[in-house]
Amino acid sequence: MRDKTFVPSRMLIYLVVILFAAAYLAPLVVVVLNSLRSNEEIAQGSMIGWPQHLAWGNYAAAWSGFCVAETCAGIRPYMLNSALVTIPATIFSTLLGAIAGYAVSLWRFRGDNWIYGIVTLGLFLPQQMRLLPWTIVLRDTGLINTLTGLVLIHTIQGLSFTTLFCRNYYVAIPHELIRAARIDGAGFFRIFWRIILPLSAPILIVTVIWQFTHIWNEFLYGVTFTTGQQQPVTAALIALSAAIADIPQHGVQSAAVIIAALPTLLIYLLGGRYFVRGLTAGAVK
Amino acid sequence: MTEIVSTATQAGRPAISGVVGRLPEYLMIWVPLLLSAAHLVSFSLWTIWISFSPSTLVPVTGWVGLRNYNAVLASRNWHIAFDNLLLFGSAFVLLSLITGLVLAILLDQRIRGENVLRTIFLYPLAVSFVVTGTVWSWLLNPGIGIQKLVHDLGWTSFRFDWLIDRDMAIWTIVIAAIWQSSGFAMALFLAGLRSVDADIIKAAQIDGAGPVRIYRRVILPTLWPITITVVVVQLQFAISAFDLVRALTNGGPGIATQLPALVVYDLMFQRGQLGRGAAAAVLMLLILLAVLLPYAAWRYVQRRRATHA
């Protein structure tokens, strides 16, 4: 291209892109800065400002000090709850989804298309259609207000996504590979462990990242099926802003928001490529 | 070849003694899939059934026909929620499409730091709606957010109080939703732009077409299928939006930013009107189907065309 008309338009492109980037980053920057300002400092000015004295104490207070409802243990117990729900549910749903995806794509059995079709409907069915039945099932099994109940929900519902992801990945594996292994006498699990699993690293990373992010960030089930000390951190954040509406503690609250968002943000930064692949795979069903 | 296949089938399906040995594999395949499929079907039917029953605080058997539906459809709550959904859904989808497309085209200009920029535009997707809603509720709160900042800087007549303005509050949700998920549109559009056949673009350049013309006539028309996918996914989010609203406005001021998902929750768990709550959930599903069924039909036609071509 000719350089003279080229340069100003390039400048404009960079200018616009940088403005957009600033707008996207602004909320994060504001919260990070606020998490380092004292509550008094924020109360005197606005939420948007540069810290005058770094108030690192906000993080300590957010983590284990201040009160949500009647309990004063910071958000640590709720972070722990979220971890105790998210990690097992991610592992279970990914592992079961991988096996199911392997079965429907490479093993084939009677009715597999039907059952797979129904399972993928779970991608579309709104949570609201399942709220009452889950409430009744959890109540009758004694799992209401337990972390186990949430693990169960997220495992079963996650299967729609994990099965789809893995199935779409496994259909590309040549059937001859499986056929040859079967001739050698290898069974379902042997082929899975020896052939499929070693090929699965990319899709398993995508699936794990997707599941972890979604379960960690989930709110509706958390707030519906658990109360008080059993709530995941998303529900606790809402309870927190309601609890301290009278005496604003925006510094501590900002620190709590950062802590709650940190696990998924870190995963995103470390596995960005796989994160995006999950997004596009989830969209192009 | 057929011989090999038949031996393979024999090896794969041994006689009765093997059935017990293969029990673990049947269990591992069927139990999760059946649980998943069964819960989807039975829970949907269950909710539909409750929506026709006189259930209030607890689910009860009985038949009241469409009474719950009529009650929900006649309520002011649902009216406001539905109008809000129309406004929020169309504004959010349209604006995030435009934002996403502009970002994708800009990133497609072989600029430096593309990876960093892409990371910046996509990070909001990794954050929960609760966090997004909370943070934007601070920024948009006139007492402590952007309006306060501008006042402190000296421009005291500046007003940006949509969060507490009944007529404008729904737009705060549009803003936060665009911030959170326009990166998704960007990612899909960028993938689409990158997959446009380079030869076609070269041919257009040789014909003397400028960059704007090439975009309008050659590149953008290829993005139609992606656009439709983005619209459907974003609409799906808009129809079931709950967390974001709960954290940002909680449906307020008053009930000005009520949305269907909030009405469902309110009826089920705050007013103890299970029958009506279930009816509202079914209405949500119907709205969703109004979007998804045409999409499914369109996908079907596209696939058939692809296989015939």
Q: Is pLDDT at A138 greater than 50 in this prediction?
A: yes
Helix and strand totals (H; E) in chain B: 15, 0
Nearest CA in chain B to A220: B243
**The pLDDT value given to residue A1:** 41
Overall fold of domain A76-283: MetI-like fold (1.10.3720)
**The pLDDT value given to residue A6:** 54
**CA count, 13 A, side-chain hemisphere, A36:** 11
The amino acid sitting at B24 is P
Strand pairing partners for A68?
A71
Q: Is pLDDT at B2 greater than 60 in this prediction?
A: no
Asked if B152 has any chain A CB less than 8 Å from its own CB, the reply is: yes
**The pLDDT value given to residue A167:** 93
Nearest CA in chain A to B135: A27
A72 to A66, A79, A228: CA distances (angstroms)? 5, 14, 12
The residue with greater pLDDT, B2 or B73, is: B73
Report chain A residues whose CB lies below 8 A from the CB of B152. Answer: 45-46
- CA B190/CA B273 separation, integer angstroms: 46
**Cβ count near B20 (within 10 Å):** 8
Report chain B residues whose CB lies below 8 A from the CB of A28. Answer: 123
pLDDT band, very low/low/confident/very high, at A69 (cuts 50, 70, 90): low
Among B76-85, B166-175, B296-305, the range scoring the smallest mean pLDDT is: B296-305
Place of tokens 């209401």: A144
Q: How many percent of chain A have pLDDT more than 90? A: 61
Strand pairing partners for A253?
none
Q: Is pLDDT at B245 greater than 60 in this prediction?
A: yes
Classify residue B156 as exposed, middle or buried by CB count within 10 Å of its CB (0-12, 13-18, 19+).
exposed
Nearest CA in chain A to B184: A279
Rounded average pLDDT over A160-169: 94
pLDDT band, very low/low/confident/very high, at A4 (cuts 50, 70, 90): very low
Rounded average pLDDT over A116-132: 93
Provide the mean pLDDT of chain B: 89
**The pLDDT value given to residue A16:** 94
Whether B30 is in a domain gets the answer no
Rounded average pLDDT over A219-228: 94
Q: Is pLDDT at B303 greater than 60 in this prediction?
A: yes
Q: What is the CATH number of the domain that holds B245?
A: 1.10.3720.10
Whole-structure pTM value? 0.91
Q: Is pLDDT at B10 greater than 60 in this prediction?
A: no
Q: Tell me if A86 sits within 8 A of A127, measured CB to CB.
A: no
Start-end of H helices in chain A: 3-34, 39-44, 57-60, 76-102, 112-121, 128-140, 147-170, 175-183, 188-191, 197-199, 201-217, 220-225, 233-243, 250-270, 272-283
**The pLDDT value given to residue A68:** 66
Place of tokens 């392997």: A102
User: Where are chain A's structural domains?
Assistant: 76-283
The amino acid sitting at A47 is M
> What's the pLDDT tens digit per position in B212-233?
888 888 888 899 999 999 999 9
Of the candidates A165, A183, A147, the residue with the CA atom closest to the CA atom of residue A274:
A165
- Got the DSSP string for B237-249? HHHT--HHHHHHT
**Cβ count near A185 (within 10 Å):** 10
Three-state secondary-structure class, residue A68: strand
Q: Considering just the CA atoms, what is the radius of gyration of chain B in Å?
A: 26
- CA B109/CA A9 separation, integer angstroms: 11
pLDDT band, very low/low/confident/very high, at A244 (cuts 50, 70, 90): low
Q: Which residues, in sequence order, are CB contacts of A135 under 8 Å at separation 6+?
A: A144, A224, A225
Whether B18 is in a domain gets the answer no
pLDDT band, very low/low/confident/very high, at B4 (cuts 50, 70, 90): very low
Report chain A residues whose CB lies below 8 A from the CB of B268. Answer: 131-132
Asked if A231 has any chain B CB less than 8 Å from its own CB, the reply is: no
> What's the pLDDT tens digit per position in A37-66?
988 888 888 888 888 888 898 999 899 877
Nearest CA in chain A to B7: A183
- CA B208/CA B201 separation, integer angstroms: 11
Place of tokens 């870190």: A266
> What's the pLDDT tens digit per position in B68-92?
999 999 999 999 999 999 999 999 9
Place of tokens 């990612």: B187
**The pLDDT value given to residue A153:** 96
Out of A127, A189, A261, name the one closest to residue B240 (CB).
A127
Give residues 71 to 130 of A whose Cβ lies within 8 Å of B: 96-97, 99-100, 103-104, 107, 109, 115-116, 118-119, 121-122, 124-130
**The pLDDT value given to residue A46:** 84
**The pLDDT value given to residue B131:** 96
Whether B240 is in a domain gets the answer yes
Asked if B130 has any chain A CB less than 8 Å from its own CB, the reply is: yes
**The pLDDT value given to residue A189:** 87
Assign residue B241 a region (left: φ > 0; alpha: ψ between -120 and 50; beta: otherwise).
beta
Q: What is the separation of C-alpha A118 from the centre of its chain, rounded to a whole number of angstroms?
A: 24
- Residue B261 tokens, joined: 């998902």
Q: Tell me if B251 sits within 8 A of B245, measured CB to CB.
A: yes
> What's the pLDDT tens digit per position in B13-27?
444 456 677 787 778
Q: What angle do CA B74, B77, B78 make, to 5 degrees?
A: 60
When divided into structural domains, chain B yields a total of 1
Q: Tell me if B127 sits within 8 A of A258, measured CB to CB.
A: no
**The pLDDT value given to residue B6:** 39
Say if the Cβ atoms of B135 and A27 lie within 8 Å: yes
- CA B172/CA B245 separation, integer angstroms: 9
Rounded average pLDDT over B199-206: 86
- CA A266/CA B215 separation, integer angstroms: 36
Q: Is pLDDT at A249 greater than 90 in this prediction?
A: no
- Residue B235 tokens, joined: 């609409």
Interface pTM (ipTM) of the complex? 0.91
Q: Is pLDDT at B281 greater than 90 in this prediction?
A: yes
Rounded average pLDDT over A73-78: 90
Q: What secondary structure letter does DSSP report for A56? A: T
Of the candidates A31, A174, A54, the residue with the CA atom closest to the CA atom of residue B137:
A31
Rounded average pLDDT over B2-17: 42
Whether B223 is in a domain gets the answer yes
Q: Give me the domain span that covers residue B130.
A: 75-308
Q: Is pLDDT at A251 greater than 60 in this prediction?
A: yes
Q: Tell me if A87 sits within 8 A of A151, measured CB to CB.
A: no
Rounded average pLDDT over B109-136: 94
Whether B271 is in a domain gets the answer yes
Out of B7, B139, B230, name the one closest to residue A30 (CB).
B139
- CA A248/CA A43 separation, integer angstroms: 8
